[in-house]
A and B are shown apart, each in its own frame.
Chain A
Amino acid sequence: MKKVLAMILAGGRGERLYPLTKDRAKPAVPFGAIYRIIDFTLSNCLNSDVRRVLALTQYKSISLHRHIQLGWNILSAPLGEFIEVIPAQQRIDEHWYQGTADAIFQNIYTLQQEKPDLVLILSGDHIYKMDYRKMIAFHLEKGADLTVAAIRMDRKLSKEFGVIEVDKDWQIIGFQEKPEEPKTIPGDSEGILASMGIYAFNTEILVRRLIEDARSDSTHDFGRDIIPAMIGKDRIFAFDFRLGDPGGTGYWRDVGTIDGYFEANMDLISVIPQLNLYDPQWPILTHQSPHPPAKTVLAEEGRMGTALNSIISNGCIISGGSVKRSILSPKVMIHSYVEVEDSILMEGVDVGRYAKIRRTIIDKDVHIPQGMEIGYNLDEDAKRFTVTASGIVVVPKGMKL
Chain B
Amino acid sequence: MKKRILVVEDEEGLRLLYKEELEAEGYEVLTAQNGREAIQKLEEEPDLIILDIVMPVMDGMEALGRIVGRERKIPIILNTSYPGYRRDFMSWAADAYVTKSTDLGELKDKVRELLEKGKAL
Binding site for B on A (CB under 8 A): 91-93, 95, 106, 108-109, 111-112, 207-208, 211, 214-217
| Segment of B4-12, B19-27, B29-37, B68-76 in the binding face | B68-76
Inside 8 A of A211's CB, which chain B residues have their CB? 68, 89, 92-93
Closest B-chain residue to A106, C-beta based? Answer: B69
Taken together as a complex, chains A and B put the C-alpha atoms of A208 and B92 apart, in Å, by 7
A215 in contact with B66 (CB, 8 Å): no
Task: Rank and list the top 3 A-B pairs by shortest CB-CB distance, nearest first.
Answer: A93-B69, A92-B65, A92-B69
Taken together as a complex, chains A and B put the C-alpha atoms of A216 and B70 apart, in Å, by 11
A207 in contact with B92 (CB, 8 Å): yes
CB under 8 Å from chain A, chain B span 26-85: 65-66, 68-70, 72-73
B89 in contact with A112 (CB, 8 Å): yes
A214 in contact with B92 (CB, 8 Å): no
- A-B pairs with beta carbons under 8 A, tally: 37
Closest A-chain residue to B88, C-beta based? Answer: A112
A108 in contact with B89 (CB, 8 Å): yes
User: How many residues of B are in contact with the other chain, CB < 8 A?
Assistant: 12
Inside 8 A of B88's CB, which chain A residues have their CB? 112
Inside 8 A of A214's CB, which chain B residues have their CB? 68-69, 72, 93
Inside 8 A of A111's CB, which chain B residues have their CB? 89
User: B68: which of A95, A109, A215 is its contact (CB, 8 Å)?
Assistant: A215
B72 in contact with A215 (CB, 8 Å): yes
Least CB distance, A358 to chain B, in whole angstroms: 51
Taken together as a complex, chains A and B put the C-alpha atoms of A216 and B73 apart, in Å, by 7
Majority-rule SS of B interface residues: helix
Closest A-chain residue to B64, C-beta based? Answer: A92
A108 in contact with B73 (CB, 8 Å): no
| B98 interface residue (CB < 8 Å to A) | no
Inside 8 A of B72's CB, which chain A residues have their CB? 214-217
Inside 8 A of B96's CB, which chain A residues have their CB? none
Taken together as a complex, chains A and B put the C-alpha atoms of A95 and B70 apart, in Å, by 9
Inside 8 A of B69's CB, which chain A residues have their CB? 92-93, 95, 106, 214
Inside 8 A of A106's CB, which chain B residues have their CB? 69
Least CB distance, B15 to chain A, in whole angstroms: 26
A92 in contact with B89 (CB, 8 Å): no
Taken together as a complex, chains A and B put the C-alpha atoms of A207 and B66 apart, in Å, by 16
Inside 8 A of A216's CB, which chain B residues have their CB? 72-73
Given contacts A93-B69, A93-B70, A108-B65, whether A215 and B93 have CB atoms under 8 Å apart is: yes
B90 in contact with A108 (CB, 8 Å): yes
Taken together as a complex, chains A and B put the C-alpha atoms of A107 and B92 apart, in Å, by 15
A93 in contact with B92 (CB, 8 Å): no
